[in-house]
Amino acid sequence: MKKNRVSIIVLLVVVAIAALVILTSGGKKKYAWYKTTQTTYKNPYDHQLAYDLLKASSKDFVDVRKNLNDALVKGTNETGQTYVYIGIFPFYTSQEVNSLFKFAEAGNDVFICAEDLPDTIITAITDYNNIWTISQIHQNTTSVNFTNEILKSGGPYNFQYKFGNDTGNSAEWSYLLEQESYSNDQNSNKQFVSLSTLKDGKINYIKVSVGKGYIYFHTNPIMFSNYFLKEEKSFEHAQKVFGHLSFNKIYWDETSRIYKDNSLTTERKSKTSLSYILSQPALKYAWYVLLLMGIIFLLFRSRREQRIIPVLVSNKNTSLQFIETMGSLFFNTGNHGKMAEIKMSGFLGFVRNKLKVPTHHVDESSFKLIAIRSKVPEENVAAIFNYYKNEIKDKKVKSEQLIKLHSLISGFYKTYNIK
């Protein structure tokens, strides 16, 4: 009986693997249809053609594959140059972000084409009350047109996502919110200028004035992939996008595709690992097969094969009693300073872990960011830190001061929960 059961399980596993191969192959497979965005391969969603196009158009082309910061620092001594990154997400360090801005401020162009950016870049060129929001629409096709009347004449430019022989899958088309802060006039004095939009007016390409130069941000790297650039209209779209840039000298960034230990990330993205798996056909089928194998395992291996585990008395939760005891101990011994320190440490932990705001150096800009993310008035946030600094820290604390600090922090939590 046991041998028969093992044989059945082995047979089902073989069937599941065969189903996975059939579902993911789609016939004879020639190319990998994932968004790998590499420049050394000819897969549909790699960027070899964009790489070759810019290299052929530039008088001096620098392929940066090791130290981006050194290349940018050298570039600040000249003007009329262009930095280019095309990929899913640029993994910059803080030092590289600073060098990018100095490169632009010196009179050069920075072109970043990615589906999202680290928060540090966004907050560096916007104020806290007008932080960019990058969102996505999920659909099979989209269209793009330019805001400039001359460039608009050839549009709109249509893009349809394809995965192998399947043209019915949806793709993520990113765009920028906060449209009221942008201008469509390329001669505008505004800091942000919209250069092109998806259909329904969703902005996907902007120009940001930084010092003597500009930062250009495009939200759809897939539009510059091999698959689309082989089409005449898509190639014309790419030429118009790159037409805003200077071609005297181009720095093509390859090193920022790779994650570094000190890379900056984004705190705004809510996309989960499972949502990404389900958005990729091959990974989606593999996930379903894995679930099927798990169900099969439960059906055939769920019968108990060991003696019944005796019921154990659950442990009594004494956390509240411990807190009350420690609080009474500190209060009765008059150690109000220690209690205030513990209270403030708990509040700082909440700010770091829940609101994602660093607390190693807190200033007025930190107050603004905490207020924005918690929806608590900025003056209430500042009151907590200023009171702790002026009345509590490194001082002999009285019970009235401890009660006041507790009242301020409790008011913060109450307002946060209401919002």
Q: How many C-beta atoms lie closer than 10 Å to residue 111's C-beta?
A: 24
Of the chain, the end-to-end C-alpha distance in Å amounts to: 61
Distances (CA, A) of 221 to 162, 205, 359: 15, 11, 35
Distances (CA, A) of 403 to 272, 382, 398, 408: 42, 18, 9, 9
Residues in the chain: 419
Per-residue pLDDT tens digits for 374-398: 888 889 888 888 888 888 777 787 8
Average of per-residue pLDDT across 72-78? 82
Question: E strands of 200-313, at which residues?
Answer: 203-210, 213-218, 249-253
Token digits of residue 254: 């390859």
Highest mean pLDDT of the ranges 143-152, 169-178, 180-189: 143-152
Residues 392, 401 contacting (CB under 8 angstroms): yes
Read off the pTM. 0.57
pLDDT (0 to 100) of residue 261: 75
Q: How confident is the model at residue 269 (pLDDT cuts 50, 70, 90)?
A: very low
Average of per-residue pLDDT across 14-29? 57
Q: Return mean pLDDT, the chain.
A: 79
401 has pLDDT over 60 = yes
Range of lowest pLDDT (11-15, 57-61, 343-347)? 11-15
Question: E strands of 14-129, at which residues?
Answer: 60-64, 81-86, 109-113
Amino acid (1-letter code) at residue 59 = K
Per-residue pLDDT tens digits for 276-333: 676 667 777 888 888 888 888 777 766 656 666 777 766 665 544 555 566 666 666 6
pLDDT (0 to 100) of residue 267: 44
- Please state the φ and ψ torsions of residue 312, each to the nearest 5 degrees: -105, 145
SS3 276: helix
Domain ranges of the chain: 2-28+283-296, 48-279, 319-418
Q: What is the CA radius of gyration of the chain?
A: 28
**H or E element in which residue 159 lies:** strand 157-160
SS3 213: strand
229 vs 91: CA distance, rounded Å: 25
Q: Which residue has tokens 């000819």? A: 42
Q: How many C-beta atoms lie closer than 10 Å to residue 315's C-beta?
A: 6
Token digits of residue 161: 């996502």
Residues 339, 331 contacting (CB under 8 angstroms): yes
2 has pLDDT over 60 = no
45 vs 405: CA distance, rounded Å: 56
pLDDT (0 to 100) of residue 217: 93
Per-residue pLDDT tens digits for 204-258: 999 988 889 999 999 999 999 989 999 999 999 999 999 989 888 999 999 888 8
Helices 399-418 + 378-387 axis angle, to 10: 160
pLDDT (0 to 100) of residue 188: 47
pLDDT (0 to 100) of residue 270: 43
334 has pLDDT over 80 = no
In a 10 Å sphere around its CB, with 0-12 CB exposed, 13-18 middle and 19+ buried, how is residue 212 labelled? exposed
181 has pLDDT over 60 = no
6 has pLDDT over 60 = no
- SS3 breakdown of the chain: % helix, strand, coil, rounded to 5? 50, 15, 35
129 has pLDDT over 90 = no
Range of lowest pLDDT (24-33, 135-144, 244-253)? 24-33
